[in-house]
């Protein structure tokens, strides 16, 4: 089906439907196959109105760029971008570049719900299997060539798109898989590698490529602790190891574990471990 879409050539189709007495909640709004070369091309996710919708855009040739909540992505051939509006992101063509892609716009609360699940699991750039890319191209072509489609047919196309993405992200996961979503895994790894640095929630939300509020909810649900509580627990755990495995001073350990100063570190450590840092070190050595 990808071959059929390429043979059809560049085209854009907006699916205009009469207002339905019984609204459907996963609808394809428009679809297209385009190329951009040596031109200004930039879409700001906060400047496309207030009505929520989503964009799925698959790169076939060239390269686009995506700045998603401050995280940079390269949109190379074979990658599929998923973004929702309104949201703090921008996708664009760099000066002098070339970008060829096919895309679909969807709206409806069910389409947005599924999109949020996928974004939580993978972030905004998907790496689908070739069979899923082929199916996505086929659905795009059907949306571009449909003759007098009904609301039901347009909804079928919308669900077809979202189930393709769902299969690509969740289809190979076992129901018993208890691993963290990829976005949360990134944050956990980032925290572990940067315990001595400032770890504000806003920064962690950027690593997860989520809004602050959504990140806090998602992290708390997946990990069982709020981001700030988790950071503190990891800092204290590392401080324990440094107290017992090294002869580092309290000042050095405070610096390495991200506390503002040794006094604050000692206060927090005593509160959570019922002993001052040096007392903790001494009693553990005595117990050996």
CATH code for the domain in which residue 252 is found: 1.10.10.60
227 plus 136 within the same structural domain: no
Region of residue 69 (phi > 0: left; psi between -120 and 50: alpha; otherwise: beta): left
Q: Which domain holds residue 257?
A: 182-287
Which residues, 6+ apart, have CB-to-CB distance to 277 below 8 Å?
239, 243, 250, 253, 265, 266, 269, 270
27 plus 165 within the same structural domain: yes
Where is the domain boundary, 112, 144, 170?
170
* pLDDT at 212 (0 to 100): 87
156 plus 219 within the same structural domain: no
* pLDDT at 172 (0 to 100): 60
14 plus 104 within the same structural domain: yes
pTM strictly above 0.85: no
* pLDDT at 2 (0 to 100): 80
The burial class, CB within 10 Å (0-12 / 13-18 / 19+), for 279 is middle
Q: Give SS3 for 52.
A: coil
Structurally, the chain folds into a number of domains equal to 2
* pLDDT at 20 (0 to 100): 76
Q: How far is residue 206's CA from residue 6's CA, in Å, rounded to a whole number?
A: 36
Where is the domain boundary, 119, 146, 170?
170
49 plus 152 within the same structural domain: yes
36 plus 92 within the same structural domain: yes
* pLDDT at 277 (0 to 100): 93
Give the chain's residues under pLDDT 70.
172-178, 284-288
151 plus 239 within the same structural domain: no
* pLDDT at 120 (0 to 100): 79
């Amino acid at each position: 089906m990808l071959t059929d879409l390429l043979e059809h050539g560049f085209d854009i189709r907006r699916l205009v439907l009469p207002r339905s007495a019984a609204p459907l909640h996963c609808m394809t709004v428009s679809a297209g196959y385009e190329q951009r070369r040596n031109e200004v091309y930039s879409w700001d996710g906060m400047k496309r109105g207030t009505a929520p919708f989503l964009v799925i855009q698959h790169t076939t040739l060239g390269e686009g760029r995506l700045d998603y909540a401050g995280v940079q992505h390269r949109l190379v051939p074979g990658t599929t971008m998923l973004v929702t509006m309104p949201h703090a992101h921008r996708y664009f063509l760099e000066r002098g570049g070339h970008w060829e892609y096919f895309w679909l716009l969807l709206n409806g609360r069910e389409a947005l719900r599924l999109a949020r699940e996928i974004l939580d699991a993978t972030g905004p750039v998907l790496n689908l299997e070739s069979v899923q890319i082929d199916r996505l191209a086929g659905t795009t072509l059907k949306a571009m060539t449909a003759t007098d489609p009904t609301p039901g047919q347009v909804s079928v196309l919308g669900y077809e798109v979202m189930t393709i993405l769902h299969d690509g992200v969740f289809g190979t996961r076992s129901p018993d898989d208890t691993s963290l979503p990829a976005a949360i895994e990134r944050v956990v790894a980032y925290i572990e590698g940067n315990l001595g640095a400032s770890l504000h929630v806003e920064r962690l939300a950027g690593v997860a490529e989520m809004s602050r509020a959504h990140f806090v909810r998602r992290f708390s649900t997946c990990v069982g602790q709020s981001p700030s509580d988790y950071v503190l627990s990891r800092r204290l755990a590392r401080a324990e190891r440094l107290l017992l495995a090294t002869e580092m001073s309290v000042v050095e350990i405070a610096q390495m574990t991200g506390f503002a100063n040794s006094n604050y570190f000692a206060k927090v450590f005593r509160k959570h471990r019922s002993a001052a840092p040096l007392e903790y070190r001494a009693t553990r050595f005595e117990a050996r």
